[in-house]
Amino acid sequence: MNATALGLRRGWTEHLNQLSDRREMVTALAGSVGVYALLVAWLGGDTVPGADVRMGTYLTAGFLAFTVFSTGLTGLPLMIATDREEGVLLRARTLPRGTRVYLTGRATGVLLTIATNGVLILLVSLPLTGGSLPASPGRWLTLAWVLTLGTLAVVPLGAALGILLPGPKTGAALLALPTMVLLTASGVVVPLSAMPSVVRGIAQVFPLYWQALGLRAAFLPDSMLAAEIGHSWRLGQAAIVLGAWAAGGMVLAPWLLRRVRGR
Amino acid sequence: MDDLAIDVRQLTMAYGGTRVLDGVDLDVRRGEVFTLLGPNGAGKTTLVEILEGFRAGWTGEVSVLGEDPGRGGDAWRARLGVVLQSWRDHGRWRVRDLVRHVAAYYDRARDADGLLDALGLTEQAGTRAVLLSGGQRRRLDVALALAGRPEVLFLDEPTTGFDPEARREFHLLVERLAGEGLTVLLTTHDLAEAERLSGRVAVLVAGRIVTCGSPAQLARAVRAPARVRWDGGEVETDDPSRAAWELHRRYDGPVPGLEIRRPTLEESYLDLVGEAR
């Protein structure tokens, strides 16, 4: 069987193994979909100040971005760090094409988790926000490519982080702070226009801001543009920045893996 | 050359100034069970990991199945079976799922169920790997290493932490595999295990091969002198019978408090290890 097919199958089995661990699944869902449902139930009915958009819709876009971001840049690195500690990476090295299969498997797992969480968020949003889905086929298309490119932008990067992390426990502590900072700074929860200009500048270097912006473009009406930088969705720029992160990560991750190998 | 599965010449590996391996020469023939025997920290694992292609930075000539392990590609790797020390990976996977998955990496893989049967894991086929006992987990590791019909099997301290029965079963398994023509390189710090299993044994102490040969040759090579003690003194000799005969002649009768002690193979081995250090 070729390495890609093996990796896909591996990712699928890992995903099923994870789902059958009830406690883990509940924790994972509570941390993403659960928090989303709570916030939407609490604030979702309010309208965004100064606009005719409900808070729930804004949160939907933000939480989808957060799911991609946290699965790719926190969940994946911690999984890889755990795998390294448990010897999964070493096992992969004893098998022909093992490392390639392993990485494909982990990437598949991330895609499956993002897809599961994304679908759950949209399902929860329906009754709670009274339909905050993208309004036109064009916006659905935007949703599709932003999610895909946004995922591609974080998966190789997350793999590289996982290779660099000292271990799962210290790793979790190391990742928590930058994740929180970036989450707050990127306008996922609070609109970026409310941030000081230095923060705005820094946030625009990272993929999370562009991912969230692209998702807002899919979910929010153009009347919300007043809150965005340059009063534009800047989708072209979003594609370039996300693409650059994806390409950079795809070069960086295998290079790092080779360096760690010689150890 | 062709009948050698592993050929090592002047292998040296330094780690921050200290030589973990120091000019190691080693050859393992095809179909042979070869043991690297040595105390902890002797360099056994480093040596095996170099042969498996997991370590860089060594000097010397190393060939495993005709290839330099530093450069072996996927086709080469597919001909090796590797059991590392104390693996606990893939804990969430069910035994049969994992064996099937690993078998799918190979072109001429063994049948997963047959493999489980051969290793006595059929009853555990649906169990998650994390729930296996130490011996079962080790057998799973061997099953995974055998899935691709390897030509060489590496076993790094495979029986550490086994109870006597698990150990005995494991020895029977290795003997069966050897009977099928598989080349096995195993490491152990247990002399009895080396004696029982191996065609040949190399003793590795502080990064050097101290002696290498069949268990019988090893016994002769490491045999420390016997101790002859009596009320008037004590001598160390390789020929205790002659020493006793001479004492009898000297005393012209029974020798008071005569005692002859031959060291066990284990004592001799420990002696050798102590000396080389």
What residues pair up with B204 in beta bridges, in sequence order?
B209
CB atoms within 10 A of CB A111: 20
Q: What Å distances lie between residue A230 and A17, A71, A105, A226, B122, CA to CA?
A: 46, 30, 40, 8, 65
Same domain, B218 and B228: no
Same domain, B206 and B230: no
Q: How far is A162 from chain B (nearest CA, A)?
A: 17
d(CA B257, CA A246): 85
Q: Which residue in A has a C-alpha nearest to residue B79's C-alpha?
A: A96
CB–CB of A158/A76 below 8 Å?
yes
- Residue B276: pLDDT band with limits 50, 70, 90: low
* Tens-digit pLDDT profile for residues A141-177: 999 999 999 999 999 889 888 888 888 888 888 888 8
Model's pTM, two decimal places?
A: 0.83
CA-nearest of B93, B67, B90 to B80 is B67
What residues pair up with B6 in beta bridges, in sequence order?
B28, B64
CA-nearest of B17, B15, B77, B16 to B47 is B15
B74·A96 Cβ contact <8 A: yes
Whether ipTM > 0.85 holds is: no
> Total structural domains in chain B?
2
Q: Which residue in B has a C-alpha nearest to residue A87's C-alpha?
A: B89
What are the DSSP calls for A55-79, one per residue? HHHHHHHHHHHHHHHHIIIIIHHHH
d(CA B127, CA B70): 36
Q: Is B124 part of any domain?
A: no
B105·A96 Cβ contact <8 A: yes
**Secondary-structure breakdown of chain A: helix, strand, coil percentages, each rounded to the nearest 5:** 80, 0, 15
Q: Which of B56, B80, B105 sits opposite A97 (nearest CB)?
A: B105
- Residue B1: pLDDT band with limits 50, 70, 90: very low
Same domain, B209 and B194: yes
Q: How far is B156 from chain A (nearest CA, A)?
A: 13
* Tens-digit pLDDT profile for residues A36-94: 888 888 877 777 776 777 778 888 888 888 889 889 988 999 999 999 888 898 899 99
Between A21 and B230, residue with greater pLDDT: B230
Q: Is B90 part of any domain?
A: no
A97·B74 Cβ contact <8 A: yes
CB atoms within 10 A of CB B79: 19
- Domain assignment of residue B216, given as a range: 1-31+38-78+180-222
What residues pair up with B200 in beta bridges, in sequence order?
B34
Between B98 and B238, residue with greater pLDDT: B98
Kindly state the DSSP code that residue B67 receives in the 8-state scheme.
B
**Secondary-structure breakdown of chain B: helix, strand, coil percentages, each rounded to the nearest 5:** 35, 30, 35
Kindly state the DSSP code that residue A6 receives in the 8-state scheme.
H
- Residue A189: pLDDT band with limits 50, 70, 90: low
A83·B52 Cβ contact <8 A: no
Taking the CA atoms of chain B, what radius of gyration do you get in angstroms? 23
Q: Which residue in A has a C-alpha nearest to residue B128's C-alpha?
A: A17
* Widest pairwise Cα distance in chain A: 60
A90·B89 Cβ contact <8 A: yes
Q: B141: which chain A residues are within 8 Å (Cβ-Cβ)? A: none
Same domain, B207 and B238: no
B148·A13 Cβ contact <8 A: no
> Total structural domains in chain A?
1
What value does the mean pLDDT take over residues B57-64? 94
pLDDT in the model for residue A261: 58
pLDDT in the model for residue B167: 85
CATH number at residue B209: 3.40.50.300
- Domain assignment of residue A79, given as a range: 3-261
Same domain, B198 and B267: no
Same domain, B8 and B69: yes
